[in-house]
A and B are shown apart, each in its own frame.
Chain A
Amino acid sequence: KQEVTQIPAALSVPEGENLVLNCSFTDSAIYNLQWFRQDPGKGLTSLLLIQSSQREQTSGRLNASLDKSSGRSTLYIAASQPGDSATYLCAVSGGATNKLIFGTGTLLAVQP
């Protein structure tokens, strides 16, 4: 059974700092890995999708890496801003239906 773990559960950093969020999964038979952002009481916003054959994806200040063999992904946020404060969720997809299995998220607070 696929299990996804995210570390740390919460993180507080001063504005401008670079930071790394970690995600690990137990079964390497995945189709892809997605990072999402969730603001309080809201739905999920997709940030980056890494297909199983890829090693990393970049979007603006965000860079996500994938090491499928070790079951790990990282989300790197450069020059953090208070607007980056949110919960960041990692999810892997697999199986015939391509459903997502989520971690419990990392709650990020960027202090001005």
Chain B
Amino acid sequence: DTGVSQDPRHKITKRGQNVTFRCDPISEHNRLYWYRQTLGQGPEFLTYFQNEAQLEKSRLLSDRFSAERPKGSFSTLEIQRTEQGDSAMYLCASSLRATDTEAFFGQGTRLTVV
């Protein structure tokens, strides 16, 4: 297992376009998280999946954002009608179900909206 994988690593898009990111978690991990990180800040929680169920969404996740995790494996994060303020690093993390387990992060997708 090569760890958490994210694709693409970089995305440049024009304002108003839709973008979709993919995350492949560590295979046996049933918890999956999306975070967003802007320059000079720590990552901020966006949403959480336990298997295929989306159990928590941050108020940062406006109605332009949608996330899915079909079949409880990979996950996608879509941003519709992108705005310049969406420019950030989008990070995916996975962990086992127990509350005291370590979270592992992917390399992130750097989004630039021009």
- Residue-by-residue, is A96-110 near B (CB-CB < 8 Å gives 1, otherwise 0)? 111111111100000
Q: Which residue of A has the minimal Cβ distance to B10?
A: A41
**Which residues of A lie under 8 Å from residue B33 when comparing CB positions?**
99-100
Other-chain contact of B100, A4, A52, A97 (Cβ < 8 Å): A52
Q: Is the interface of A mostly helix, strand, loop or mixed?
A: strand
Other-chain contact of A100, B100, B103, B110 (Cβ < 8 Å): B103
Among the stretches B14-22, B41-49, B65-73, the one at the interface with A is: B41-49
- Residue-by-residue, is B29-57 near A (CB-CB < 8 Å gives 1, otherwise 0)? 00101010000111111001010000110
Q: Which residue of A has the minimal Cβ distance to B4?
A: A43
**Which residues of A lie under 8 Å from residue B31 when comparing CB positions?**
97-98
Instruction: Assess the B102–A34 pair: CB atoms within 8 A.
Output: yes
Q: How many residues of A contact B (CB 8 A)?
A: 27
Q: How many residues of B contact A (CB 8 A)?
A: 29
A42 at the interface (CB under 8 A from B): yes
Q: Which residue of A has the minimal Cβ distance to B6?
A: A43
Instruction: Assess the A46–B41 pair: CB atoms within 8 A.
Output: no
Chain A residues engaging chain B, CB cutoff 8 angstroms? 4, 31-32, 34, 36, 41-46, 49, 51-52, 89, 91, 93, 96-105
Chain B residues engaging chain A, CB cutoff 8 angstroms? 4, 6, 31, 33, 35, 40-45, 48, 50, 55-56, 91, 93, 95, 99-108, 110
